C-alpha cells in the first residue's frame, strides 16, 4: 500500500492543467498539502485547489513564471514561509516551440530552455537548503523520452529534457547523504493540451509507433511521481520511463 503523505508539503510547477494537475490531485489524495503554480491559467489553478480541498487537505495557488529566476525562487520561498517546510518538489512546467533547425529562432530556443531546464535549477537550488535542514526531501523532475531519443523538430525541447536528466543525476549525487532523492520521470506521448497542439495526421503517425497502441493518461504519469515521492526512499538519480514502450 502506498504510504500516506499527511502533513507533507509539496509544490507542483505548472499544476493548473494536464500532467501537473493530475500530479497535484494524486499527492492530495494521499494527504499532502499542495502549492499549485501556474503562469497564466489562474481559473484552472483555482479549480485544482478546490479539488485538492475536497480531499480534506490544504492548497495554495501561486502565480509565477518559472522561466524567471526570481519568480521561480519566490515560489519556493512563499511555500516554505506559508507552511514552514517543503518535502516534495515536482518540476513539471514545460512548453514546446517545435520547429526544425532551419526555422528555429533564438527566442524559440531560449523560451524552451528557460522554461523547461533553467526553471529546474532555480527551484531546486531554492529548495535544497530547507530540505537539507530537514534531512528529508523528494524532488521529481518531469523530463521526456525525447531527452534520450531526440525528435525531429524538437532540438530545443529535446535539449531541455536531456539536460534535466543529466542535472537530476548530478544533483542527486550531491544530496543523497542528506536523505534527499532527486529523480526524473520521462513520459511518452500523454493526452494533454500539449499533445493536442500536434496536427492530427502527425498524431496518427505517432500512435502507430507506440507499442501499447495508445497515448498515456496524465494520471499514469502522476502515479509514477507519487510512487517516487511516497515509496521511493532508496531510489535516487534515476529516470523512470512511463511511455507505453515508445522508447526502450
Q: Is 29 in the site for ligand NDP (CB under 6 A)?
A: no
Is 247 a catalytic site residue? no
Given the DSSP bridges, would you call strands 137-142 and 180-187 parallel, antiparallel or unpaired?
A: parallel
- Is 17 annotated as contributing to ligand binding? yes
Q: Could you tell me how many residues of this chain bind ligand NDP (CB under 6 A)?
A: 29
- Is 159 annotated as contributing to ligand binding? yes
Distance between alpha carbon 34 and the CA centroid of its chain, in Å?
Answer: 14
- Give the C-alpha separation, 232 to 169, whole Å: 15
* Closest approach of ligand NDP to the CB of residue 4, in Å: 25
Which is closer to ligand NDP, CB of 115 or CB of 156? Answer: 115
Q: Please pick, from the candidates 162, 163, 187, 232, the single residue that binds ligand NDP as defined by CB under 6 A.
A: 187
Q: Is residue 28 within 8 Å of 46, Cβ to Cβ?
A: no
In order of 36, 148, 160, 196, 225, the CA distances from 245 in angstroms are 30, 14, 22, 20, 18
Question: How many CB atoms are located within 10 Å of the residue 44 CB?
Answer: 17
* Closest approach of ligand NDP to the CB of residue 132, in Å: 25
Summarize the annotated binding site for NADP(+) as residue ranges: 14-17, 92, 157-161
**Which positions are catalytic?**
157
Task: Please report, as ranges, the residues that interact with ligand NDP according to CB under 6 A.
Answer: 13-14, 16-20, 37-41, 65-67, 92-95, 115, 142, 144, 187, 189-190, 192-195
Amino acid at each position: 500500500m502506498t504510504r500516506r503523505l499527511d502533513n507533507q508539503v509539496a509544490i507542483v510547477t505548472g499544476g493548473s492543467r494536464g500532467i501537473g494537475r493530475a500530479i497535484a490531485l494524486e499527492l492530495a489524495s494521499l494527504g499532502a498539502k499542495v502549492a499549485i503554480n501556474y503562469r497564466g491559467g489562474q481559473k484552472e489553478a483555482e479549480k485544482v485547489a478546490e479539488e485538492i480541498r475536497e480531499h480534506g487537505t490544504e492548497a495554495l495557488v501561486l502565480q509565477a513564471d518559472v522561466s524567471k529566476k526570481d519568480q521561480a525562487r519566490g515560489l519556493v520561498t512563499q511555500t516554505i514561509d506559508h507552511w514552514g517546510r517543503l518535502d516534495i518538489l515536482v518540476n513539471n512546467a514545460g512548453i514546446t516551440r517545435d520547429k526544425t533547425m532551419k526555422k528555429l529562432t533564438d527566442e524559440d530556443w531560449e523560451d524552451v530552455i528557460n522554461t523547461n531546464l533553467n526553471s529546474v535549477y532555480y527551484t531546486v537550488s531554492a529548495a535544497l537548503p530547507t530540505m537539507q535542514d530537514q534531512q528529508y526531501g523528494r524532488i521529481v523532475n518531469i523530463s521526456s523520452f525525447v531527452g534520450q531519443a531526440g525528435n525531429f523538430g524538437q532540438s530545443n525541447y529535446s535539449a531541455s529534457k536531456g539536460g534535466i536528466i543529466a542535472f537530476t543525476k548530478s544533483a542527486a549525487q550531491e544530496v543523497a547523504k542528506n536523505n534527499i532523492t532527486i529523480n526524473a520521470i520521462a513520459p511518452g506521448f500523454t493526452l494533454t493540451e500539449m499533445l493536442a497542439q500536434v496536427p492530427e495526421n502527425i498524431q496518427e503517425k505517432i500512435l502507430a509507433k507506440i507499442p501499447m497502441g495508445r497515448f498515456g493518461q496524465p494520471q499514469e504519469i502522476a502515479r509514477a511521481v507519487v510512487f517516487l515521492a511516497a515509496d521511493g526512499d532508496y531510489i535516487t538519480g534515476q529516470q523512470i520511463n512511463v511511455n507505453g514502450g515508445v522508447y526502450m
